[in-house]
Amino acid sequence: MKHFRFLNMLVAIWLALALIGFPSSHASAGGALVVTMVNDGSDANPGDGFCAISGGSCTLRAAIEEANAHAGADNIIFSLPGAGIHVMSITSGPLPTITDTLNLDGTSQPNCTVPCIVLSGASLPAGAKHGLRVASNNSIIKGFIITSWNTSSGPGNSYGIFITGNNNIIQANDIGFWPGNPTPLGNGSGISLFGTGNLIGGTTPNERNVISGNGYGIVVANAVDGNTPTSGNKIQGNYIGANAAGNAALGNQLTGVVVFMGGSNTLIGGPTSGARNVISGNRAGIYYTGSTTTIQNNFIGTNAAGNAGLGNTQDGIYSDAGSGVITGNRIAFNAGKGINIYGSAVRATVRRNSIFSNTSLGIDLGSNGVTLNDTGDVDAGPNRLQNFPSIISATSSTRVVTGRLSSRANTKYTVEIYSSPTCDSSHYGEGKVYLGAVSVTTNGSGVGSFSVAVLGNFAVGSKITATAIDPAGNTSEFSACRAAN
């Protein structure tokens, strides 16, 4: 009887430990691997269900090794001693590639003002390229400071986070700098995106990544193997090239967001203000060659409040191939063009943006200054060198704008009308305030006229301009300015 009571007592103790958690970091369905030390080191026995190195403590490397060896989704959480910033200096070579679904949660660290866990590649030998490599699907990485992952071979060869899987989420990280440290400790580039359906950021402030001080900020590229599609990735709610407060530049040395050929259906921003990225202070804001890129509701060249300049030192947006929709953005204070469309880029649809205070043209087709209209609009080039409208008059009291469009014959166009406080030095406009749109159909000679009472108000003396959009979505440059009477 005593023997059975003893066995029952052991079973009860075992069950209690199972409920409250074993003293070691246990990896099992519904369990978590607990990182308890900042040092680097490998797991003693990957696949045994426990994360432990010599002495029983758990490193990040050991936790990833154990998670990869354990079939099914895993959680890695943190219980590092002390408060404040915790620096994990990776010294034993690149961290293991994440190959199985993983929730890597730096926000779990107690007494932590997120982010507070530094993943530094500064002590690695040359050739250790990427910080966190994610080949899994449906993984989440959040709450880290990721710095100093770079090589001498150029920014395109090293990344803070390198993603080749699908449907992964990257949130609440500072990538390329260390808050409070005046010197950026940038990665070769911040994030590389391959695969499909990955999300960088989110629509709430606590999901925001700050991606600044790197080579490139974010790169969306063609699939590594040339076969797996790179499609449907979202970049939302991030500060790219600004500091964590969004009020000062901490630019990426090259372009904030790059979408290369093969990166199809990329969404930068989104339909709500929460999805807005601030892409400012970089060499250029956004460059895309990928097909059907959508750039929506971002601040490009301004601070996070949208009321002061943190301009990119070249163009706000530029494209030399592919197609895209550029809508609802504030594109201002950039040292080059607001939008530069050149090369073989076509169907770049520019609609309902606020474009102002850029050093050069608001929209430039061909990257060569104002492209004058041609009779019949038969010339070819970026956006088919779509002719712009001519504003004849604009009356403030009635809000009536009249004009004409000379373009291809018997074609229906959309003319968008804008006002700005000043005109570009070329006497061709930008468009700070969207006033409204009107449909214009040309006759057999290619000429169509319009007279429309726009919805928006404009003051006497304000400069009125317009763009024309053809049925395929090719948008013109801004027209010459006309002062409102």
Q: Which of 125, 158, 174 is the last residue of a domain?
A: 125
Per-residue model confidence (pLDDT) at position 93? 87
| Same structural domain, 247 and 393 | no
The CA distances from residue 236 to 198, 240, 248, in Å, are 11, 10, 20
Is 32 domain-assigned? yes
Q: Read off the pLDDT band of 161 (50, 70, 90).
A: very high
Token duo for residue 338: 């607001």
| Same structural domain, 76 and 178 | no
Q: How far apart are CA 383 and CA 472, in angstroms?
A: 9
Is 15 domain-assigned? no
Looking at the structure of the chain, the number of domains it has is: 3
Per-residue model confidence (pLDDT) at position 223? 61
Sign of CA dihedral 427, 432, 436, 441: positive
| Same structural domain, 156 and 196 | yes
Task: Provide the domain limits for residue 95.
Answer: 20-125
Strand duo 284-288 + 255-259: pairing: parallel
pLDDT digits (tens, 9 = 90+) for 236-261: 999 999 999 999 999 999 999 999 98
Per-residue model confidence (pLDDT) at position 248? 95
Q: Of 120-124, 143-147, 345-349, 383-387, which range is least confident?
A: 120-124
Whether 233 contacts 261, CB under 8 Å: no
| Same structural domain, 451 and 476 | yes
Is 3 domain-assigned? no
Q: Of 53-62, 92-101, 223-232, 340-349, which range is least confident?
A: 223-232
Helical (H) or strand (E) element with 33: strand 33-35
Is 352 domain-assigned? no
| Same structural domain, 294 and 177 | yes
Give the residue-averaged pLDDT of 120-134: 85
Whether 385 contacts 361, CB under 8 Å: no
Sign of CA dihedral 29, 35, 39, 45: negative
Per-residue model confidence (pLDDT) at position 114? 86
Is 342 domain-assigned? no
Nearest to 459, CA basis, from 414, 404, 424, 422: 422
* Residue 153 scores a pLDDT above 90: no
**What does the mean pLDDT of the chain come to?**
90
Q: What percent of the chain has pLDDT over 90?
A: 77
Q: How far apart are CA 255 and CA 217, in angstroms?
A: 7
| Same structural domain, 139 and 237 | yes
Is 392 domain-assigned? yes
Per-residue model confidence (pLDDT) at position 28? 34
User: Scanning the structure block, which residue is given the tokens 């959309």?
Assistant: 414
Q: Read off the pLDDT band of 230 (50, 70, 90).
A: confident
pLDDT digits (tens, 9 = 90+) for 264-288: 899 999 999 999 999 999 999 999 9
Domain CATH code at residue 428: 2.60.40
Sign of CA dihedral 192, 195, 196, 202: negative
Q: How far apart are CA 278 and CA 281, in angstroms?
A: 10
Q: Read off the pLDDT band of 126 (50, 70, 90).
A: low
In DSSP terms, 433 is beta-bridged to: 419
| Same structural domain, 269 and 282 | yes
pLDDT digits (tens, 9 = 90+) for 1-38: 434 343 344 334 333 333 333 333 443 334 799 999 99
* Residue 450 scores a pLDDT above 80: yes
Q: How far apart are CA 343 and CA 352, in angstroms?
A: 24
Q: What's the one-letter identity of residue 280?
A: S
Q: What's the one-letter identity of residue 221?
A: A
Q: Read off the pLDDT band of 118 (50, 70, 90).
A: very high
Q: Read off the pLDDT band of 317 (50, 70, 90).
A: very high
Task: Name the region of 236 (left: φ>0; alpha: ψ -120 to 50; beta: rest).
Answer: beta
| Same structural domain, 120 and 211 | no
3-class secondary-structure state, position 60: helix
Strand order in the sheet with 447-453: 390-395, 400-406, 447-453
Per-residue model confidence (pLDDT) at position 11? 37
Give the residue-averaged pLDDT of 114-130: 86
* Residue 418 scores a pLDDT above 70: yes
| Same structural domain, 329 and 280 | yes
Nearest to 253, CA basis, from 236, 234, 240: 240
In DSSP terms, 78 is beta-bridged to: 35
Give the residue-averaged pLDDT of 307-317: 98
| Same structural domain, 79 and 140 | no
Q: Of 115-129, 193-207, 300-314, 359-373, which range is least confident?
A: 115-129
